[in-house]
Amino acid sequence: MQMRAFELQKIQQNYSTFMTRLGLSDTDTRKREYVLARGAFSKAYRQHASLMELGHVIDKDHTSVIHAIKSHEARMLYKDYRWAYKVACEVRDVNPIEALENPDLNSLLNEVKHLNDMITELSKYKELYLTLKKTFDEF
């Protein structure tokens, strides 16, 4: 299942909301509460994104997502995991991901225009960087 950028962005926003509701800052840590939170979120959103996409959202490899999903049943024995999973499901249900089956042409054209504008702006910064780098390398 290939998602468009704005759908993936919506899942990332939901992940931020989820972590805020749990009182966790999204850091790369192996502390139990963070591992359980990432696992609960992955399980809750598995139907909405691929393993790679979920891995990107939680800033982990897709194999971490696979492990989290496989561990779901065993982790449901723990109260803190059940709570995190419940919160993840609530966030998912309150902020649904609307996958567009048949997107209209105008929305796709607007998205392409926006991406092209971003490319143009980034190209300008790249040229400026290369010019400055060349200038400083001469010293």
Most confident of 6-15, 25-34, 76-85, 92-101: 76-85
Confidence of residue 106 (pLDDT cuts 50, 70, 90): confident
Asked if the model's pLDDT at residue 110 lies above 80, the reply is no
* Tens of pLDDT, residues 94-104: 988 765 455 66
Contact indicator for 34, 42 with CB cutoff of 8 Å: no
Residue-averaged pLDDT of the chain:
87
* Tens of pLDDT, residues 53-81: 999 999 999 999 999 999 999 999 999 99
Asked if the model's pLDDT at residue 24 lies above 70, the reply is yes
- Token pair, residue 86, equals 């419940």
Domain formed by 5-94, architecture:
Orthogonal Bundle (1.10)
Contact indicator for 41, 11 with CB cutoff of 8 Å: no
pTM: 0.68
- The sign of the dihedral angle between the CA atoms of 34, 37, 39, 42 is negative
- Cα–Cα separations (whole angstroms), residue 60 to 39, 56, 117: 11, 6, 30
- What is the reported pLDDT for 3? 54
Contact indicator for 104, 55 with CB cutoff of 8 Å: no
Q: Percentage of the chain surpassing pLDDT 90? A: 61
Round to whole Å and give the CA distance between 138 and 130. Answer: 12
Asked if the model's pLDDT at residue 5 lies above 80, the reply is no
Round to whole Å and give the CA distance between 104 and 77. Answer: 45
- Token pair, residue 69, equals 């999903």
